[in-house]
Chains A and B, each alone.
Chain A
Amino acid sequence: MTRPKRKGHRALALLCLFCSPVLLAETLAPVDQRIGSEGSLKIDFQRHVLPLLSRAGCNGRDCHGSAQGKGGFQLSLFGYDFDADHKALTKLVEKHGVARADKDNPAASLMLKKPAREVAHKGGKRIEKGGWQYELLLRWIQQGAPAQNRQQRFERLEVAPAEIVFRQSGDTAVLSVVAVWADGTREDVTPLTRFQSNNDGVAAVEATGRVTARGAGDTHVVAFYDNGVAAVPVMQPLPGKSAHAVAATTVDRHIQTKLAKLGITPSKLCSDEEFLRRASIDMTGTLPTPTEVEAFLANTRGDKRARKIDELLQRPAYAAWWANKLCDFTGNNPQQQAELGQELASQWYDWIFRRIRENQPYDKLVADIVLATGRSEGQSYEEYAAEMSAYFRASKPADFTGRPTMPHYWTRRTMTKPEDKALSFAHSFLGIRLQCAQCHKHPFDQWTQQDFKQFTRFFEPVKFDIPPAARETAKQLAAAGSATMNMQSMMMSQDMQAMAMDGRVVPWRELYVEKGNRPELKLHLLGDRELTLRSDEDPREKIMTWMLEKDNPWFARAFVNRVWANYFNRGIVHPPDDFNPANPPSNEALLDHLAQGFVASGYDMKWLHREIVNSHAYQRSWEPNATNAGDERHFSRAVPRRIPAEVVYDSLAQIVAAVGELEEVRENLDRRAVGHLSMRMAGTYAMNIFGKPARATNSDCERSADPSLLQSLFLRNDPIMQGRLDDGGWLRELETRHSSSAQPPRAELEPLIREAWLRVLSRPPRTTEQERALAHFSKAASTAGGMRDLLWALLNTKEFILNH
């Protein structure tokens, strides 16, 4: 809940045990107590003044911390820029003839008079004249309004209690916060800390740090002081004891521990038909076939679910669906490539698809993207140009998926600046949002602007153009085909693209790391240890090594969490691309287990899928019991969620396919939105309205499972929908087979009705449903017509559109 500890300090602390008594200093009492009793108390700008301004709301987003400040007075957002703030406070304000912190006339200082409402202040009264806050600021000014001590470094926050468990609503608890500084000083900073609750419905927190229980459930109360962010878990269990549930797997054990604490009893397991449909969608983005459903239901093996999971992992559709997801995380967007967008996007997808199909470990797959270069080891520019041109030959193009590395991640137009690379990288592989830190300190994360700037520097040497040494060759290659090269943009002209299609070699821009041309840098990698970056090194290698370290807080965790989020209504950290200290996991032990297990398995993605899908937690029914209707956070029941865009689209084709063609329609990934058609379908109407992400921003929430009016209209009346029902192979077969207008006997209709249910809802119909369907057929003008109506009706149920 605090920043990652630096390992060195523990050793240092032990050593100093024998050296100096100072390090075991007691904790200084809070400044509001000492200000009255200690006349000689030295007020510190960083330790006391700025935190006070944060706590009082002066430097918040709405007031002086906003982008333009307020009333001509600008402070840094939540006090991250000591120099700028000190200047702003101590300079003379012309209009009033006095400074905000006026050393010559302390009592006249505006930073006293305004917040105490002694003079007009649009921000209202923030402190009491004569109160300790007033006294603190006054004393600081009287002491000469000294700036921050540059030797001083904030180390971490300690919050007590470490966890709050309430018995009933209305109960309270008080938090106390201690700041620990690098020199060992400890100070109680509770009166200077900002507090926030992550869920007011469960617990509310006052400015004083008093927490009040509001309702059953759990959340975190977060404390902010200086650069520290500390989140305290707060929970209020349901009254009474929850039923004891046996934990079937380790995943279940961790979940069960939490549920038991909360007094929540998990729902029972889902039915076999629900399991088959759910797992097929979540693992392979595909509905099961009627044959598959019947076989699974008839199967009497005790381990059939585990075997089905193994079987699903073997299907090409598994690789297709997860290649899609990895394209979501890495931002594969045809429109972001400078040229040949569709082709490059498809290459990107296919490259990942192949590696998932071969079950390549995740760390290797990522490394081959992160460390990608245009040329492979020892390749000359001409050889590289020949290789690239071969991928675009019209006749027998070379196979891009055979390339050892995948450079298109870096060559996007939206990745030109090092800052863009840094933001995208952090999102794709670490699950963190650095955006705020670009301009100021992240208001609730630990990243400073300095952290961001340093991280950005790692990406500066990564270039995408034609390296100076190769430009002559490039010009010659272009000239050989009577094309000219635009040496400014170095992009492919239409001529050159045509040449490549023709089988000729054309010059290509390449992804490379500029070496030797830059000074050696000493940089901190996202607040972590200091690294030396020599001028001949690929800085991405340093990042890759760091990501694979045992204690790296993000690389493995971000991925397992995203995979988890695919299988449930939410991630263990949610949103999954927002790992930060103010947004802790809802089950730390569970996330730890999955991340550690994933790494120990050698980053084996199939291990991860098995570990999750075999758990009882995943296989729970959506039906709530008396204790868990309100729980959407702790996986005590399946939470119904809309099926993804690609699955809707593909299902429509599969559901109406002719009996003999259904398998083929399902298997042919080239024609499926879940498969290789994914890139070509990006931006089309159906994909848009069902929430397929455009991948235009660095954000997981671009993929949307929200329902909408347009989706309902689509399923009722879109031309695509009508086309499927009108022309689907099965419907045509029915037209042929039952061409007379006489109604077929019941014995013939019943299997057709059963088939409809199996196709759309992946289960057999109940007797009442069958009767209702028969009643409809008895009034239908034709069998095919009746079936069109029935399929339409089933496709427009919540049961179809929701994954439950």
Chain B
Amino acid sequence: MNTRSTSLIPRRRLLKVGALGAGLTLSQYLRLASAGATDASTKRSGILVFLRGGPSHQDMFDLKPDASAEYRGEFNPIKTNVPGVEICEHLPKLARCADQYAIVRGLTHNLADHGLGSTYLLTGNRPGSLVKYPTYGSVASAELSVMPDLPAFVSIEEPLEGPGFLGIQHSALATGNKPRPNQPFSVRGVTLDGGLSLTQLENRQQLSRDLDTLFRGHEKLSGEITAIDEFSDKAHRILSSARARKAFDLAAEPADIAGRFGAHETGQSLLLACRLIEAGVRFVTVIVDNWDTHQQNFATLKRTLLPQFDQGLSALFTTLKDKGLLDTTAVLVTGEFGRTPKINGTAGRDHWPRAMFSLMAGGAVHGGQVLGATDATASEPTDGGWSPDDIAASFYRNIGIDPHREYHIDTGRPIQLIRNGKPIEQIFTGAA
């Protein structure tokens, strides 16, 4: 048993921005970061939009207008701004910017349980009892540098899937709740609430430092002591940082931009994700709920889910582009599985992992294409299809992390980040 690899206290790659810190934009920062990086590959930021519940693939991005009534459903396809690509009529805004993203059809697996399916799609590895694989944001936290006064990984609103074997220091900072339109938004543990002013915070911090004398002279005695000092320092910076405060302050976004996203939780969450990425957070997970449409699938989709999703996601792409962030941000949109081809007795669809969709955008993604295909009823991929492992590997590639990177952890054998998947080349080349 190699005793070297027992501690997971990370060597955190905090960029020393010093006096520059205040005025650095993200793109400047990233250029600096990659200039200092030991390898030449680009490291992007990441956004995961997780459609929790299992979004109905054949009613959104893989319509089958020629199937019989009990399969095809109530929606019709419409053209997009990419010739030959059609998506659901209730996603008109996304249809107008289809050149910004790639649609992957024919994604397939066999875990029809919410928990297992989610773990699979959120980590890129089939869940097992042996090893807990980390979710994308935790890997980003471990591998990407971040400014000293910002958290690396934020999850809106709860921490879905954890850091697994990477260790709890790479857990998401969970916002605790979703931003609601026209309501002030505060983030658990980060927003200064309860009347505590910056001055008071500073005084407390100073008092604490003055009293924390036990290990004076022995700061390097153990990894724990060093790490606690590091994290304390960073926590204080985040709390007292104007940049962090502004990043979480939705009201600071110009009204015309904020308005694009829509006055609903989904839109506001995506707006927050955009702000956080712009400020320098390296990975944001946005959870969008209520896709588990066992009943009233079409009514629910048409009334709320699709319009909000359409508005929010298209605004995300547009706004990232406008702010010059689309090239440096890898985006993945996915749920945990698709839904049953045959409509059930309550006008709904049930769990169906054998066919599902994902969207990829930003970074090196070649937008405006459809990859893969399913059969006449959207039940199975027509060719081999791809696995969640492959999508995950592609996402990591787009961020700039080697999906087959190995970690040395306690079990004694090296663990690969993505055990079985390979990046889908066509996503990046556009060529079939």
Min distance, Cβ B135 to any Cβ of chain A, angstroms? 14
The residues of B that contact A61 with a CB separation of less than 8 Å are: 413-414
Tell whether, in the assembled complex, residue B222 and residue A640 are in contact, meaning their CB atoms are under 8 Å apart: yes
Q: Give A709 to B193 CA distance when docked, in angstroms.
A: 19
Tell whether, in the assembled complex, residue B188 and residue A201 are in contact, meaning their CB atoms are under 8 Å apart: no
Q: Is B218 an interface residue (CB 8 A)?
A: yes
The residues of A that contact B290 with a CB separation of less than 8 Å are: none
Q: If the complex has contacts A435-B130, A696-B132, A710-B173, are A443 and B410 also in contact, measured as CB distance less than 8 A?
A: no
The residues of B that contact A735 with a CB separation of less than 8 Å are: none
Tell whether, in the assembled complex, residue B411 and residue A433 are in contact, meaning their CB atoms are under 8 Å apart: yes
How many interface residues does chain A have, given as a range? Answer: 35 or more
Q: Give A10 to B231 CA distance when docked, in angstroms.
A: 59
Q: Is A125 an interface residue (CB 8 A)?
A: no
Min distance, Cβ A201 to any Cβ of chain B, angstroms? 7
A719-734: which have CB < 8 Å to B? 719, 722, 726
Q: Is A476 an interface residue (CB 8 A)?
A: no
The residues of B that contact A420 with a CB separation of less than 8 Å are: 129
Q: Is A257 an interface residue (CB 8 A)?
A: no
Tell whether, in the assembled complex, residue B189 and residue A444 are in contact, meaning their CB atoms are under 8 Å apart: no
The residues of A that contact B203 with a CB separation of less than 8 Å are: 776, 779, 789
Q: Is A119 an interface residue (CB 8 A)?
A: no
Residue in chain B with minimal CB distance to A577: B410
Tell whether, in the assembled complex, residue A640 and residue B189 are in contact, meaning their CB atoms are under 8 Å apart: no
Q: Is A799 an interface residue (CB 8 A)?
A: yes
Q: Which of A444, A713, A793, A799 contacts B207 (CB 8 A)?
A: A793
Tell whether, in the assembled complex, residue A793 and residue B231 are in contact, meaning their CB atoms are under 8 Å apart: no
Q: Give A642 to B224 CA distance when docked, in angstroms.
A: 8
Tell whether, in the assembled complex, residue A712 and residue B234 are in contact, meaning their CB atoms are under 8 Å apart: yes
Q: Give A423 to B131 CA distance when docked, in angstroms.
A: 13
Q: Give A196 to B413 CA distance when docked, in angstroms.
A: 14
Tell whether, in the assembled complex, residue A713 and residue B411 are in contact, meaning their CB atoms are under 8 Å apart: no
Min distance, Cβ A354 to any Cβ of chain B, angstroms? 29
Residue in chain B with minimal CB distance to A779: B203
Q: Is B264 an interface residue (CB 8 A)?
A: no
Tell whether, in the assembled complex, residue B204 and residue A583 are in contact, meaning their CB atoms are under 8 Å apart: no
Q: If the complex has contacts A640-B221, A776-B207, are A697 and B131 also in contact, measured as CB distance less than 8 A?
A: yes
Residue in chain A with minimal CB distance to B203: A789
The residues of A that contact B384 with a CB separation of less than 8 Å are: none
Q: Which of A199, A629, A793 contacts B211 (CB 8 A)?
A: A793
Min distance, Cβ B207 to any Cβ of chain A, angstroms? 4
Q: Give A112 to B53 CA distance when docked, in angstroms.
A: 56
Q: Is A689 an interface residue (CB 8 A)?
A: yes
Q: Is A414 an interface residue (CB 8 A)?
A: yes
Tell whether, in the assembled complex, residue A712 and residue B231 are in contact, meaning their CB atoms are under 8 Å apart: yes
Question: Which of A23-31, A42-50, A367-375, A699-707 binds B?
Answer: A699-707
Q: Give A697 to B222 CA distance when docked, in angstroms.
A: 28
Tell whether, in the assembled complex, residue A790 and residue B212 are in contact, meaning their CB atoms are under 8 Å apart: no
Tell whether, in the assembled complex, residue B4 and residue A200 are in contact, meaning their CB atoms are under 8 Å apart: yes
Tell whether, in the assembled complex, residue B412 and residue A698 are in contact, meaning their CB atoms are under 8 Å apart: no
Interface centre among B4, B234, B235, by most chain A C-beta atoms within 10 angstroms, is B235
Interface flags, A614-645, vs B, CB<8A=1, else 0:
00000000111000010011000001111000
Q: Is B37 an interface residue (CB 8 A)?
A: no
Tell whether, in the assembled complex, residue B188 and residue A718 are in contact, meaning their CB atoms are under 8 Å apart: yes
Tell whether, in the assembled complex, residue A793 and residue B193 are in contact, meaning their CB atoms are under 8 Å apart: no
Min distance, Cβ B240 to any Cβ of chain A, angstroms? 10
Q: Give A453 to B174 CA distance when docked, in angstroms.
A: 43
A/B pair count, beta carbons within 8 Å: 176
A664-721: which have CB < 8 Å to B? 685, 688-689, 691, 696-699, 701, 704-714, 716-719
Tell whether, in the assembled complex, residue B204 and residue A792 are in contact, meaning their CB atoms are under 8 Å apart: yes
Q: If the complex has contacts A199-B3, A201-B4, A706-B8, are A798 and B214 also in contact, measured as CB distance less than 8 A?
A: yes
Q: If the complex has contacts A624-B218, A797-B214, are A709 and B151 also in contact, measured as CB distance less than 8 A?
A: yes
Q: Give A711 to B228 CA distance when docked, in angstroms.
A: 9
Question: Which of B58-66, B164-172, B267-275, B335-343 binds A?
Answer: B164-172
Q: Which of A423, A575, A582, A799 contacts B214 (CB 8 A)?
A: A799
Tell whether, in the assembled complex, residue A793 and residue B413 are in contact, meaning their CB atoms are under 8 Å apart: no
Tell whether, in the assembled complex, residue B9 and residue A623 are in contact, meaning their CB atoms are under 8 Å apart: no
Q: Give A444 to B2 CA distance when docked, in angstroms.
A: 11
Q: Give A639 to B223 CA distance when docked, in angstroms.
A: 11
Q: Is A578 an interface residue (CB 8 A)?
A: yes
Q: Is B194 an interface residue (CB 8 A)?
A: yes
Q: Which of A198, A709, A719, A769 contacts B2 (CB 8 A)?
A: A198
Tell whether, in the assembled complex, residue A704 and residue B167 are in contact, meaning their CB atoms are under 8 Å apart: yes
Tell whether, in the assembled complex, residue A713 and residue B238 are in contact, meaning their CB atoms are under 8 Å apart: yes
The residues of A that contact B205 with a CB separation of less than 8 Å are: 796
The residues of A that contact B221 with a CB separation of less than 8 Å are: 622, 624, 629, 640
Q: Is A389 an interface residue (CB 8 A)?
A: no
Residue in chain B with minimal CB distance to A725: B194
Q: Is B179 an interface residue (CB 8 A)?
A: no
The residues of B that contact A798 with a CB separation of less than 8 Å are: 212, 214-215, 225, 228-229
Tell whether, in the assembled complex, residue A712 and residue B235 are in contact, meaning their CB atoms are under 8 Å apart: yes
Q: Is A574 an interface residue (CB 8 A)?
A: yes
Q: Which of A199, A623, A633, A711 contacts B4 (CB 8 A)?
A: A199
Interface centre among B129, B151, B413, by most chain A C-beta atoms within 10 angstroms, is B129
Tell whether, in the assembled complex, residue A198 and residue B3 are in contact, meaning their CB atoms are under 8 Å apart: yes
Interface flags, B1-25, vs A, CB<8A=1, else 0:
1111010110000000000000000
Q: Is B111 an interface residue (CB 8 A)?
A: no
Q: If the complex has contacts A199-B3, A199-B4, A642-B224, are A708 and B168 also in contact, measured as CB distance less than 8 A?
A: yes
Tell whether, in the assembled complex, residue B193 and residue A772 are in contact, meaning their CB atoms are under 8 Å apart: no
Q: If the complex has contacts A640-B222, A708-B169, are A436 and B207 also in contact, measured as CB distance less than 8 A?
A: no
Q: Give A769 to B159 CA distance when docked, in angstroms.
A: 39
Q: Give A444 to B9 CA distance when docked, in angstroms.
A: 26
The residues of B that contact A685 with a CB separation of less than 8 Å are: 174, 176, 188
The residues of A that contact B347 with a CB separation of less than 8 Å are: none
Q: Give A583 to B411 CA distance when docked, in angstroms.
A: 12
Q: If the complex has contacts A685-B188, A713-B189, A714-B189, are A772 and B207 also in contact, measured as CB distance less than 8 A?
A: yes
Interface flags, B164-202, vs A, CB<8A=1, else 0:
000111010110100000000000111011101000110
Q: What would 13 A/B residue contacts be, using CB atoms closer than 8 Å?
A: A200-B4, A219-B3, A444-B412, A640-B221, A642-B224, A697-B130, A701-B410, A707-B231, A710-B173, A713-B189, A716-B201, A722-B196, A797-B214
Binding site for A on B (CB under 8 A): 1-4, 6, 8-9, 129-132, 151, 159, 162, 167-169, 171, 173-174, 176, 188-190, 192-194, 196, 200-201, 203-205, 207-208, 210-212, 214-215, 218, 221-222, 224-225, 227-229, 231-232, 234-236, 238-239, 410-414
Beyond A706-B9, A713-B173, A717-B239, 7 additional contacts (C-beta under 8 Å) are A198-B2, A198-B3, A623-B218, A640-B215, A722-B196, A789-B204, A802-B225
Ranked nearest first, the 7 interchain pairs of A and B with the lowest CB-CB distance are A712-B235, A583-B1, A708-B169, A797-B212, A793-B208, A793-B207, A799-B214
